Amino acid sequence: MAHDGTDSVRVHGLNNTWPGRTAPNWTGLPSQSADSSLDADWNDPADRRPLIIRWTGWRLRLLVLCALLGCVATAMLVRALIAAPHIDASWRADSQGRIELAASADPALQPYVGHALLGIAGGDVSVALIDALALQRSPRWVIGDGARARQQLVRDQLTEALAAGHVKLFFADGSQVAVSTVPHGIANLPLIFWLLSAFGLALYMVAAAVLIAHPISRNVIYAVMAVCQSGNLLLIAVEAALEFGLPPHAGRLSMPVHMAFDLITAAAMVNATCLHPRRLPGSGWIAVLGWAVALGLIGSTAVGALPHVWWWTQGAVIMLGLMAIGLLSWSYHIEPHPFAILLRRFGIVTAATWGLLTAALAAADQLQGVPHNIADIGSMIWYVFLGSLLLLIPFLARSQNFMREFALLAAISTVATSLDLLFVAVFGLSQFAALTLSLFVSLGVYTGARHWVLSQTLGSSMLTTERMFEQLYRIAREVEAQPERASTLLSQLLGNLFEPLEVNVVEMRTHKTRVAGDGSSMLVPVPTLGHDTTASRAVMIRFAQRGRRLFSSEDARLTDRIVEQLRRAVHFDMAVEQGRSEERLRLAQDLHDDIGARLLTLMYKAQSPEMEDYVRHTLQDLKTLTRGLAASNHRLSHAAAEWKSDLTHRLSAAHVELKWAFAIDNDILLTVVHWSALTRILRELVSNAIAHAQAQQLEVDFRLENDRIDLTITDDGVGRNPRAWSHGLGLGGVRKRVKQLGGEVEWREVSPHGIRCRVVIRDLSKAR
């Protein structure tokens, strides 16, 4: 389907394929799924990008339904949360790893701010809190299996104690405080809960939109990843809202659910890289392997058969992540799609931060109180980072600036996270101090680096702008001279601008520049320049900056503006040229009509044949002059045909036989100067032979070899001793014109009688 209308034409002299690769034959072959989907994209304009599909009918209804479902689920979650029993106080871990009262609105508790909590008793349950484990947000990030079981036990007891309505708090200084629990209340939900759940919802909506817009396998995989991460974020939000963990039945599920989300995301990532940006050989088996690892681990955890679950999960995720990175490298090696490089960069950052987080947690496991900070904050930041990457992917090819800013921001937040972890783990700073310090440092880095990066990119593009303008006007002139080369020249311009790996001219009608193939390709319509009416062509460039960059909609707009500028420049040049030639034509017409008519009258009234001939020659020179003015250039073979016909005409009238020999190795275009000079040289020499030599035969031999004209005119007349000739107007004119062309002329006697005149013009093209 797609390939009937897209015969691609490789442009000569351009880098059609990437260097060092011997098999560029995948271009345009229908067997390649990536290519055919690309072409399908182009052939069906309603179907180009998932997110500019018309959102009407069933799509819109489905999307609204998804949004409603998400909102209702969140609302129910909030409702359940605000009903949960709660002590009106906030807690934190102190430096010895105990739970410390951070703040409270309850007047009974306020004197104890800064005191460590040792136990809680409520109903008939009393819980001893020997460390801050109970405070740790999620069992997912508790390393040891034993510690996790203990945390679960403590939380079960705490929930039971809180459920009684009245609790007694035992502080480290021995004092006891009795307080009543209150429902959580909507106002007491922390800000982080709202932020995280909003973010989770957004991610879920994007996943739904992508899936509904274009329900194909790779979008399904994307949706799976996005929904898993959305679930992770929502779960984190809920856990962050409840200080002492989820209710027992949900708390027990927290670890396996988190883990399942992580593993499914990782396996889906492997599966996605098998399919996108191109389907890899053996992709099915690789995907199955990924899913088998993930599902096997989830299954064995669910039945409780797996010891050291945390280590297994971390290890499996990082293994799958590295696998995805390897697959992307492989994919890039097969086809240099910039998307692969971009995804690989994201993958490396994500995997590296994951590894860092794991290492930091493992290292800090021994320290008192520290792991819970790293586990809470580090993991939360990591999930937010991954979520925003996922959120970004569908929009990657849309905006270069947006992406640049995001990339910077992501890099800086990674730095901030790492610094925070480092400060906490190694220097033992308190959580707040570490966070503040790392935020300050990273903001400083961000401000500085952003300026530097932007000035860097702007500076380089300013340079290319200058070069581009130069090229634009050069091309405009060339196009004006040869309109049929417009597409080739435009390809060159685009090639220099974007440094693509492939530039092809395709037969396709398009009105505006389009980005296709997820930003790997751009289709630029060849404007109708000059009088060329073939508007149905386009230049397809693929893999910008040698396959390292995606085309964005800004690139398309820039290209449109460049093409428009080119069109204007050509039109302007053409208008100037047209004005010039009209002016010349008018001048020629006036000269011809006025002076010509007068000379004709003069010729008819001439008293003597000499005078008549003189005026005739003047008239002919005038005609040559005006014709030279009117026409811009003459093809050598055409000019020669006219010379021959003209000479035949004149010589036969004078009863002289003409022997004409004409041999050229290149049928060049003579400029006006060349044409009129050669015409007049030839005419003058022949006139001379007719008038003075009384010849029977005239031999004209015209040769053009290696840019050198060799013209010999030999008569068999009575002329002798050419050195003694007085060079009147005629022969003087010949000398002058030959010199004007940078050539030489000489006359020589030939035996038995006659004169040979030889004109040699070397380096004809230089004399232009």
Partner 1 sequence: MPVKVLIVEDNPVARSFLTRVVRESFSDALVITEAGDLETARRQIGPHREGVQAADPFKLILVDLELPDGNGMELLAELGQYPATKIVTTLYSDDDHLFPALQCGADGYLLKEDRFEVLVEELQKIVRGQPPLSPAIARRLLTHFRPAPVGGAAASGPMPLASGFQSSRPVPMGRGAPLDHERLTPRESEVLTYLSKGFTIKEIASLMGIKWFTVNDHIKSIYKKLNVSSRAEAAVLASKQGLV
**Binding of partner 1 by 534 (CB under 8 A):** yes
Is 620 exposed, middle or buried, given 0-12, 13-18 or 19+ CB atoms closer than 10 A? middle
**Closer residue to partner 1 in complex, CB, 610/746:** 610
**Closer residue to partner 1 in complex, CB, 692/753:** 692
Cα 762 to chain center, whole Å?
50
443: Cα within 13 Å, side-chain hemisphere:
6
Q: Quick one: tokens of 766? A: 């230089």
**Binding of partner 1 by 638 (CB under 8 A):** yes
Measured distance CA(508)–CA(525) in Å, rounded = 8
Residue 546's contacts (CB-CB under 8 Å, 6 or more residues apart) are 18, 336, 499, 500, 501
**Three-class DSSP labels, 429-486:** CCHHHHHHHHHHHHHHHHHHHHHHHHHHHHHHHHHHHHHHHHHHHHHHHHHHHCHHHH
Q: How far is the CB of 624 from partner 1 (least distance, A)?
A: 10
**Closer residue to partner 1 in complex, CB, 382/660:** 660
Of 343-351, 571-579, 592-600, 736-744, the window that binds partner 1 (rule: CB under 8 A) is: 592-600
Residue with tokens 């005119």: 713
Residue 424's contacts (CB-CB under 8 Å, 6 or more residues apart) are 364, 370, 373, 374, 431, 434
Beta carbons of 196 and 233 less than 8 angstroms apart? yes
**Binding of partner 1 by 43 (CB under 8 A):** no
**Binding of partner 1 by 567 (CB under 8 A):** no
**Binding of partner 1 by 333 (CB under 8 A):** no
- Residues 605, 659, 727, 735: which binds partner 1 (CB under 8 A)? 605
**Binding of partner 1 by 596 (CB under 8 A):** yes
Q: How far is the CB of 507 from partner 1 (least distance, A)?
A: 6
**Closer residue to partner 1 in complex, CB, 365/612:** 612
Of 159-167, 413-421, 531-539, 676-684, the window that binds partner 1 (rule: CB under 8 A) is: 531-539
Measured distance CA(219)–CA(711) in Å, rounded = 75
**Binding of partner 1 by 614 (CB under 8 A):** no
**Binding of partner 1 by 666 (CB under 8 A):** no
**Closer residue to partner 1 in complex, CB, 392/602:** 602
- Residues 644, 692, 708, 758: which binds partner 1 (CB under 8 A)? 644
**Binding of partner 1 by 12 (CB under 8 A):** yes
Bridge partners (DSSP) of residue 705 are 708
Beta carbons of 97 and 131 less than 8 angstroms apart? yes
- Residues 44, 470, 507, 564: which binds partner 1 (CB under 8 A)? 507
Bridge partners (DSSP) of residue 699 are 659, 714
Q: How far is the CB of 230 from partner 1 (least distance, A)?
A: 49
Measured distance CA(118)–CA(98) in Å, rounded = 8
Measured distance CA(188)–CA(180) in Å, rounded = 16
Binding mask 466-495 for partner 1 (x = CB under 8 A): -----------------xxxxxx-------
**Binding of partner 1 by 413 (CB under 8 A):** no
Measured distance CA(326)–CA(162) in Å, rounded = 50
Of 187-195, 340-348, 455-463, 595-603, the window that binds partner 1 (rule: CB under 8 A) is: 595-603
**Binding of partner 1 by 642 (CB under 8 A):** yes
Of 216-224, 246-254, 329-337, 530-538, the window that binds partner 1 (rule: CB under 8 A) is: 530-538
**Closer residue to partner 1 in complex, CB, 214/584:** 584
Point out which residues bind partner 1 (CB under 8 A). 7, 9-12, 483-488, 505, 507, 532-534, 592-593, 596-597, 600-601, 603-605, 612, 616, 619-620, 623, 627, 630, 637-638, 640-645, 648-649, 653, 660
